[in-house]
Amino acid sequence: MEAGRGEGEVTIDEFQRHIEEIYLRRDSERGLGGTFMWFVEEVGELSTALREGGQKDREEEFADCLAWLMTLASISGVRMEKAIEKYGRGCPGCGHTPCGCPETKP
């Protein structure tokens, strides 16, 4: 374990590689489209957990969404540790932390 990391803590890359070990073969065979549909279903379950669930439900659904996002990245050839560099210097839009962009309505 690296210095400064607590027990059980993993890097983004370690987690992505762990998910690959567990699921990459099956998810690759299913393909990007089918795997994306599973991810969307998990996002729906997260929505329900946020509205109606307890803390344990929310934690489980956040973990499921992250795992499916990681496998989608892997199938697509994206290393998430590299991808998140986009936010390394603050907001990609304005460059500030916290973000200073004008708020827009969805």
Domain ranges, ordered by start, for the chain: 12-87
What is the predicted pLDDT for the residue at 2? 45
pLDDT at 1: 31
Low-confidence ranges of the chain (pLDDT < 70): 1-4, 105-106
Environment class of 21 (CB within 10 Å of its CB; exposed 0-12, middle 13-18, buried 19+): exposed
Whole-angstrom distance, CA of residue 5 vs CA of residue 8: 8
Can you give the pLDDT at residue 24?
Answer: 97
Cis peptide upstream of residue 92 (ω within 30 degrees of 0):
no
Under 8 Å between Cβ of 61 and 42: yes
Dihedral class, residue 19 (left if φ above 0, else alpha if ψ from -120 to 50, else beta): alpha
* CATH no. for 12-87: 1.10.287.1080
